[in-house]
Amino acid sequence: MSTLAYEEHLDEIRVEFDALYTWDYDRSRDGLNRLYEKAKRAQWNVSDDLDWSTPVDPWRLVALQAEATGVPPGFPGRALAEIPGSPVADWDEDRWIDFAVHSQCASLSQFLHGEQGALMCASRLVESVPWIDAKYYASTQVVDEARHVEAFHRYLDEKMPTTYPINENLKTLLDQLLQDSQWDLVYLGMQVVVEGLALAAFGMMMGTTQDPLLKQMIRYIMADEARHVAFGILSLQEIYDDLSSADFRERQEFAYEACDLMRRRSLNAELWPSFGVSNDDIMALLPPTRTQQRFQHLIFSKIVPNCKKLGLLDHRDGWLRERFTEMGIIQYEDSSIEAEELTIDSAIEPGER
C-alpha cells in the first residue's frame, strides 16, 4: 500500500494528558490483583482458538435465527413496517432478510470500531493511572482489545458481505474519552459505559445467533469484557469516595452524556441510507416504537447498576437518577452483582479450549 493510500485511512485527533510513573511497586489492591491473575490465565488466540474453516452463510443464518426465536428478520427496525406510510411499509420478506444481514454487518462494524477505541483508551490508562496494580491490569486489557479488533475484522472480512464506517455518535464519545485530561473519566466512559453496553449487546447477539463460530467468538470476548467492567468499578470506587460535590456532578453529567450518545448510536444512522431510507425519517419514527425502546433499555442493563454502585445515581439531588428515569432505564438499578462476579458467568477456563 502506498503512503498516500495508507494515510487515507487515518483520522488524527490532538490529545494531551499527564503520563505518570509510580515508584511504588507494592501490590496492595487485592481485587485488582485477583483480576490481573485471572486475565493472565484467560488469554486466547484468535488464530488458534476459533475454527475459521466454519462456513458462514449470513442469509441462511438470518432465516435460522428467525425460526429459532420466532422473531421475523429485521427487528427492531422492522417495527417501522407497522406505521402507516412509513418508508419501509412496502418491503417484502426478501428485503427484510437482506436488511437483517446488513444490520448485523453494521452492529459488528461498530463493535470493531469500538474495540479500536477501547484499545487506544486502555493504552492511555497504562500511562496515566497512578497505581502499579492498575497499570498491570490495564496492560492486559490492551492485549485483549487488540485481539478483539483482530477477531471482529477477520469475521467481517472473511464471513460477511461488507463493513460499515464508524457511527458518528460512537466516534464523538471515543474522541471525548481520548481528549479528556482526567483519567478517571476515561475509566467511567470506557469501562463503565462503553464496555457495559458492549457486554449487554454481546450477550443478546450470542443468545440469538445460529453461527457457531460467531457464538464462540463472542463468548471469548464477553469473558474479557466482563473483566474490563470489573476493572473500572474496582478502580473508580476507590477514588469516588473522596470526590467533592462539584467533581461528582461533573461525572454524573459525563455518564449521562455518554449514555445519550450511545442511545442515539443504537439507531444505526450508518445503515438506513444504504437502503434508501433517510435518517431524518428514522429519528422521527423509530425511537417511539415499543420494540426499539425495549431494545435500547436492554442494552443499558449493565450500565445503570454500576453507576449506582459508584454512587452516581443518588449523589446530592439524585440528578442522574432523574435522567435515567426519563430515559426509561432506571428499572435496572438493582440488577447489580459484585464487581469481580461480573467475570464468573462468562469466564473461560483454559481446559475448555
Cis link prior to 165 (omega < 30° from 0)?
no
Domain-embedded: residue 5:
no
Residue that the C-alpha cell 466512559 belongs to: 189
pLDDT band at 297 (very low <50, low <70, confident <90, very high): confident
pLDDT band at 317 (very low <50, low <70, confident <90, very high): confident
Least confident of 160-164, 199-203, 214-218, 220-224: 199-203
Domain-embedded: residue 17:
no
What are the tens digits of pLDDT across the range 124-171? 999 999 999 999 999 999 999 999 999 999 999 999 999 999 999 999
Domain-embedded: residue 153:
yes
What are the tens digits of pLDDT across the range 36-61? 999 999 999 999 999 999 999 999 99
Residue that the C-alpha cell 474519552 belongs to: 177
Residue that the C-alpha cell 443504537 belongs to: 266
Domain-embedded: residue 140:
yes
State the total domains in the chain. Answer: 1
Q: For residue 21, how many other CB atoms are within 10 A of its CB?
A: 9
Domain-embedded: residue 20:
no
Least confident of 159-163, 282-286, 291-295: 291-295
Domain-embedded: residue 6:
no
Determine the average pLDDT of the residues in 266-271.
Answer: 88
Q: Which residue has the higher pLDDT, 79 or 95?
A: 95
Q: Which residue has the higher pLDDT, 135 or 11?
A: 135
Q: Please check the confidence at residue 256 and state whether its pLDDT lies above 80.
A: yes
Least confident of 75-89, 93-107, 229-243, 324-338: 324-338
Domain-embedded: residue 9:
no
287 neighbors 267 (Cβ within 8 angstroms): yes
Q: Find the radius of gyration of the CA atoms of the chain.
A: 20
CATH code of the domain containing 187: 1.10.620.20
Q: Please check the confidence at residue 353 and state whether its pLDDT lies above 60.
A: no
Domain-embedded: residue 208:
yes
3-state secondary structure of 289: coil
Question: Which residue intervals of 165-266 are DSSP H helices?
Answer: 168-179, 183-186, 195-208, 212-240, 245-265
pTM exceeds cut of 0.85: yes
Determine the average pLDDT of the residues in 199-228.
Answer: 94
Residue that the C-alpha cell 439507531 belongs to: 267
Q: Please check the confidence at residue 347 and state whether its pLDDT lies above 50.
A: no
| CA atoms of 62 and 64, how far apart (whole Å) | 5
Q: Please check the confidence at residue 346 and state whether its pLDDT lies above 70.
A: no
292 neighbors 268 (Cβ within 8 angstroms): no
Can you give the residue range of the structural domain that contains 37?
Answer: 28-352
As a whole number, the mean pLDDT across the chain is: 89
